[in-house]
Amino acid sequence: MNKLLFLLFLTTSIVSLSPAQVRVVKSAERKITIDLSGMRVTGDTVAQSFFQTLERDLRLSGWFETVRGGGEIRVNGIASSSGSDVNAGGQVLRLNDQSVLLSKNYRAYPRIAAHRMADDIVEAVTGHKGISSMRIVLIGNHTGKKELYLCDGDGGGLRQLTSEGRIVVGPSWGPDGNTIVYTSYMRGFPDICRIDLSRNRRDVLANYSGLNTGSDLSPNGKEMALILSKDGNPELYIKNLRSGSLTRLTATRATEASPSWSPDGRQLVYVSDSSGTPQLYIIPREGGVPRRISSRGTENVAPDWGPNGLIACSSRSGGRYVIAIIQPANGQTVYLPTDGADYEDPSWAPDGRHIVAARSVNYQSSLYLLDTVGDRPVALLQGGGSWYAPDCSPQEKTSKRGLIL
């Protein structure tokens, strides 16, 4: 494992806890053994689906190694079906002192219940947020056209979100976890649209002349960063969603792209080719002189400013695109280990530890989960076309089935 990356992760992305709150004090490299054999599961498919999802979620969290018998943590409980839902009750014990870390009941669709229980177990044992309940919006060409899709954090529960029959680009979640903004070519030219999943409704947020793209909602949900070419050159703007007013942040002869807000909403990172190649720059929300932060790789694109304060991007190095993680204060950069494939469009998971990215080989792209601490990449979606441009939801929200828009 890259030790520099590990130190960056420990010092910036793990949530600070007071000494009384710390549940586990050990390296994130070492797995916590967890025994699920105390969870009694009825033989019906609903309960079995719950258990299988729970076990996979705990492994994907990066914190646990599941065992049968023994272990440091034991889960006791019962899961049974209630129509299409599951009734599951569980108690999580730390075996060395028999302390109860979690005792809770769940009743929901089996995958949803399993995701919630897995996240509760992660937080109860480690003190850190889980990723099982997150959702991922992404682009797929499964139908032969580029459309938006949603899936759960483990790649399951895939469902089509749009049916426009045209190109869609750059989906991004809003901070409420129920709003998605993206660029649509449904009318033949690029407009920025918003989907409200709770109301199953879509509206247009930007349809100025020229290019409307690169949309990213601010952490407070009141503003949107976007790229507009209405004045001739693609420039970075901020739009107030209530008043509709625009604030222009850049004025260059270069091309700007892909803005991403800092977690506190005070800065933006974006791509500009003002140096001759695409590189990353940071600019205050009020505007000012941009500061270049990327120094490695021949080009750096698709930045995502994570909840841990670090910026992930796709960096071209040695003829391949690899995932780089940049410390915005000083530009210190590390690369995730590569396996010879191209990794693009990284998105931080809400735990600040994992990244979801598109992995491309021979012009076919799949969805992968990457662990910045050292676990091997895990395929979430493969086959059935190409899958790319993923973005992770910021928080847990109940999955919306809804209609295709």
Which pLDDT belongs to residue 30? 83
The type of residue at 128 is H
Looking at the DSSP assignment, which residues form a beta bridge with residue 333? 326
Residue that the structure tokens 């410390």 belong to = 327
Task: Flag whether pLDDT at 7 surpasses 80.
Answer: no
User: For 124-132, what is the mean pLDDT?
Assistant: 96
Q: What is the CATH number of the domain that holds 59?
A: 3.40.50.10070
Which pLDDT belongs to residue 9? 45
Residues 336 and 216 in one domain: yes
Which pLDDT belongs to residue 396? 55
C-beta separation of 311 from 269 below 8 A: yes
Q: How confident is the model at residue 143 (pLDDT cuts 50, 70, 90)?
A: confident
Q: Which residues contact 216 (CB under 8 A, 6 or more apart)?
A: 172, 181, 224, 225, 226, 259, 260, 261
Residues 113 and 140 in one domain: no
- The reply to whether 144 falls in a domain is yes
- The reply to whether 18 falls in a domain is no
- The reply to whether 28 falls in a domain is no
Residues 116 and 158 in one domain: no
Determine if residue 150 is left, alpha or beta; phi over 0 gives left, psi from -120 to 50 gives alpha, anything else beta: beta
Residues 53 and 150 in one domain: no
Q: Which of 63, 57, 51, 41 is nearest to 156 (CA)?
A: 57
Which pLDDT belongs to residue 28? 54
User: Of 126, 160, 184, at which residue does a domain stop?
Assistant: 126
- The reply to whether 21 falls in a domain is no
How far from 277 is each of 39, 102, 232, 382, CA to CA, in Å?
55, 51, 20, 32
Residues 149 and 278 in one domain: yes
Q: Give the per-residue SS3 of 1-34.
A: CCHHHHHHHHHHCCCCCCHHHCCCCCCCCCCEEE
Residues 122 and 141 in one domain: no
Please tell me the distance from the alpha carbon of residue 280 to that of residue 244, in angstroms, as a whole number. Answer: 27
pLDDT (tens digit per residue) in 61-101: 999 999 998 899 999 999 999 999 999 999 999 999 999 99
Q: Which of 198, 45, 38 is nearest to 111 (CA)?
A: 45
Residues 152 and 64 in one domain: no
How far from 39 is each of 2, 84, 264, CA to CA, in Å?
37, 20, 41
Which pLDDT belongs to residue 315? 98
Residues 208 and 228 in one domain: yes
Indicate the SS3 state at residue 153: coil
User: For 37-44, what is the mean pLDDT?
Assistant: 93
Please tell me the distance from the alpha carbon of residue 23 to that of residue 15, in angstroms, as a whole number. Answer: 13
Domain holding 154, by residue range, is: 135-392
User: Of 67, 93, 126, at which residue does a domain stop?
Assistant: 126
- The reply to whether 207 falls in a domain is yes
Token pair in block for residue 32: 């916590």
Classify burial at 265, counting beta carbons within 10 Å of its beta carbon; exposed 0-12, middle 13-18, buried 19 or more. middle
Higher pLDDT, 384 or 50: 50
User: Of 126, 155, 190, at which residue does a domain stop?
Assistant: 126
C-beta separation of 190 from 183 below 8 A: yes
Residues 252 and 353 in one domain: yes
User: For 192-201, what is the mean pLDDT?
Assistant: 96
Task: Flag whether pLDDT at 5 surpasses 50.
Answer: no
Task: Flag whether pLDDT at 20 surpasses 60.
Answer: no
Indicate the SS3 state at residue 48: helix
- The reply to whether 397 falls in a domain is no
pLDDT (tens digit per residue) in 256-275: 999 999 999 999 999 999 99
Task: Flag whether pLDDT at 397 surpasses 80.
Answer: no
- The reply to whether 398 falls in a domain is no
b/e burial code for range 206-237 (CB count within 10 A of at least 16 → b)? bebeebbbbbbbbbeeebbbbbbbeeebbbbb
User: For 109-113, what is the mean pLDDT?
Assistant: 97
- The reply to whether 8 falls in a domain is no
CA–CA–CA angle 319, 325, 327 (5° rounding): 135
Please tell me the distance from the alpha carbon of residue 377 to that of residue 323, in angstroms, as a whole number. Answer: 12
| Structural domain total, the chain | 2
Please tell me the distance from the alpha carbon of residue 118 to that of residue 83, in angstroms, as a whole number. Answer: 22
Please tell me the distance from the alpha carbon of residue 399 to that of residue 109, in angstroms, as a whole number. Answer: 10
The per-residue pLDDT of the chain, averaged, comes to: 91
Residues 160 and 245 in one domain: yes
Q: Which of 374, 370, 275, 372 is nearest to 327 (CA)?
A: 372
Residues 72 and 141 in one domain: no
Query: Among 1-10, 36-45, 51-60, where is mean pLDDT lowest?
Result: 1-10
Q: What is the CATH number of the domain that holds 229?
A: 2.120.10.30
Which pLDDT belongs to residue 338? 85
